[in-house]
């Protein structure tokens, strides 16, 4: 099992929508709203590093309103 923690910035007013979208993705196991420089923290758990890379670059970064 490969784990990753991803810090995410979201356009103002879209945190809840983006969090709901993130948690629906296969491989995203938890999403937390946080205070500070970032808006959300996503915990990813997959079987390979390649899947982590694909999840981040092809799925998460394509979500609308991720800054």
What residues pair up with 33 in beta bridges, in sequence order?
40
> Which tens digits make up the pLDDT trace of 28-63?
999 999 999 999 999 999 999 999 999 999 999 999
Task: Indicate the domain borders of the chain.
Answer: 2-62
Overall average pLDDT of the 10-27 stretch: 98
Tokens at residue 37, please?
């420089």
**Has residue 11 got a pLDDT over 90?**
yes
Confidence of residue 67 (pLDDT cuts 50, 70, 90): confident
d(CA 14, CA 28): 18
At 28 the pLDDT is: 99
Query: Spelled out in words, what is the top-level CATH class assigned to the domain 2-62?
Result: alpha beta
CB contact set of 67 (below 8 Å; sequence gap of 6+): 9, 10, 11
d(CA 23, CA 40): 11
Closest CA to 4 of 58, 39, 46, 54: 46
| pTM score, whole prediction | 0.93
At 36 the pLDDT is: 97
């Amino acid at each position: 099992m490969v784990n990753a923690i991803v810090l995410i910035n979201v356009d103002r007013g879209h945190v809840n929508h983006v969090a709901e979208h993130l948690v629906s993705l296969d491989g995203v196991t938890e999403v937390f709203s946080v205070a500070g420089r970032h808006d959300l923290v996503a915990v990813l758990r997959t079987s390979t590093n390649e899947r982590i890379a694909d999840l981040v670059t092809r799925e998460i970064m394509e979500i609308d309103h991720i800054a």
